[in-house]
């Protein structure tokens, strides 16, 4: 499986570089944000697998950032490790009450942090709920019958177009990178490239007609099925 990035939210450059270096050395892909606001912007644009979140951030602190993330159904499943100089029990309690999955106190062992990240990711995130019928406005997908309808008129899709559409609809509102779509739809077939995805998306949009606009392009990243009608 192609993993999404680990988001490091830390305003201390020395610490963020230390964390990033050790995680990337362990084989992870990382991105860094220095404020809570910037972290929320990253989540809107990139698929994130786990968040390492400092509490002592400028403006919006880690607690407020954690609360906003956990209250947003698009991101609430993403595990969060709180990283802070504060070690008091009350801070740990608040963090856990807000939905944090773990708590690491500075100064910390980079090796221990990497092990904690691996342990949390090994648990896996909740499986996406699969429904037999997917509905969005006039668009209806009957998974069990392998049929697609727009305003009760059946639309003929190829097997891959059908799988691509259902995958995007089941993850409505979440950006899917081309690599992840290759992983989940094509199973990383050797003969398939990211350009293949772009071609299938183009054909899918054409077949969906006016509803094709629901399949949105996220420039430089991938695609997303719109939450709006």
pLDDT for residue 94: 79
Q: Are 13 and 38 in a shared domain?
A: yes
State the residue range of the domain holding 173.
133-225
Q: What is the mean pLDDT of residues 3-9?
A: 83
pLDDT of residue 138: 92
Q: Are 183 and 1 in contact (CB under 8 A)?
A: yes
CATH of the domain at 212: 1.10.10.10
pLDDT on residue 126: 47
Which structure tokens are listed for 140?
A: 């209806």
Specify the higher pLDDT residue, 222 or 179.
222
Written in H, E and C, the secondary structure of the chain is: CCCCEEEEECCCHHHHHHHHHHHHHCCCCEEEECCHHHHHHHHHHCCEEEEEEECCCCCCCHHHHHHHHHHCCCCCCCCEEEEECCCCHHHHHHHHHCCCCEEEECCCCHHHHHHHHHHHHHHCCCCCCCCCEEEECCEEEECCCCEEEECCEEECCCHHHHHHHHHHHHCCCCCEEHHHHHHHHHCCCCCCCHHHHHHHHHHHHHHHHHHHHHEEEECCCEEEECCCC
137 shares a domain with 104: no
Confidence of residue 169 (pLDDT cuts 50, 70, 90): very high
Residue 128 placed within a domain? no
Query: Which of 92, 123, 154 represents a domain boundary (last residue)?
Result: 123
Do 141 and 216 fall within a single domain? yes
For residue 131, the model assigns a pLDDT of 66
Radius of gyration of the chain (CA): 20
| Domain identity same for 110 and 169 | no
Residues 17, 156: Cα–Cα separation, whole Å: 51
pLDDT of residue 208: 96
Q: What is the mean pLDDT of residues 57-64?
A: 92
Q: Which of 6-20, 62-76, 184-198 has the lowest mean pLDDT?
A: 184-198
Number of structural domains, the chain? 2
Last residue of a domain, which of 75, 105, 123?
Answer: 123
Residues 175, 109 within the same domain: no
Q: What's the pLDDT at 228?
A: 81
Considering the domain architecture, whether residues 107 and 201 belong to the same structural domain is answered as: no
Pair 223, 168: CB distance under 8 Å: yes
Within 10 angstroms of residue 33's Cβ, the number of other Cβ atoms is 23
Task: Please check whether residues 109 and 151 belong to one and the same domain.
Answer: no
Q: Given 91, 123, 155, which residue is the final one in a domain?
A: 123
Residue 153 sits in the same domain as residue 116? no
**Whole-number percent of the chain with pLDDT over 70:** 88
Neighbours of 117 (CB within 10 A): 23
Please indicate, yes or no, whether the overall pTM of this predicted structure exceeds 0.75: no
159 and 69: one domain? no
CATH number at residue 106: 3.40.50.2300
Question: Is the pLDDT at 117 greater than 80, yes or no?
Answer: yes
Kindly give, in sequence order, each residue whose CB lies less than 8 Å from that of residue 11, ignoring residues fewer than 6 positions away.
34, 35, 54, 56, 57, 58
Torsion over CA of 143, 188, 6 and 34, rounded to 10 degrees? Answer: -100
Q: Are 191 and 105 contained in the same domain? A: no
């Amino acid at each position: 499986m192609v993993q999404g990035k680990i988001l490091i939210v830390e305003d201390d450059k020395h610490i963020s570089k230390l964390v990033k270096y050790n995680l990337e050395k362990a084989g992870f892909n990382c991105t860094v944000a220095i404020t809570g606001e910037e972290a929320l912007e990253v989540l809107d644009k990139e698929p994130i697998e786990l968040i390492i979140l400092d509490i002592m951030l400028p403006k919006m602190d880690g607690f407020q950032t954690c609360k906003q993330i956990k209250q947003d159904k698009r991101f609430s499943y993403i595990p969060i490790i709180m990283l802070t100089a504060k070690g008091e029990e009350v801070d740990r309690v608040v963090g856990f009450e807000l939905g944090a999955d773990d708590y690491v106190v500075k100064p910390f062992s980079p090796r221990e942090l990497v092990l904690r990240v691996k342990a949390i990711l090994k648990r896996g995130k909740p499986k996406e709920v699969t429904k037999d019928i997917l509905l969005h406005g006039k668009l209806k997908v009957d998974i069990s019958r392998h049929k697609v309808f727009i305003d009760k008129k059946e639309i003929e899709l190829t097997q891959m177009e059908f799988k691509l559409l259902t995958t995007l609809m089941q993850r409505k509102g979440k950006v899917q990178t081309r690599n992840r779509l290759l992983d989940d739809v094509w199973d990383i077939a050797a003969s398939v490239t990211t350009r293949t995805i772009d071609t299938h998306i183009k054909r899918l949009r054409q077949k969906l007609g006016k509803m094709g606009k629901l399949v949105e392009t996220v420039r430089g990243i991938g695609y997303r099925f719109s939450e709006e009608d």
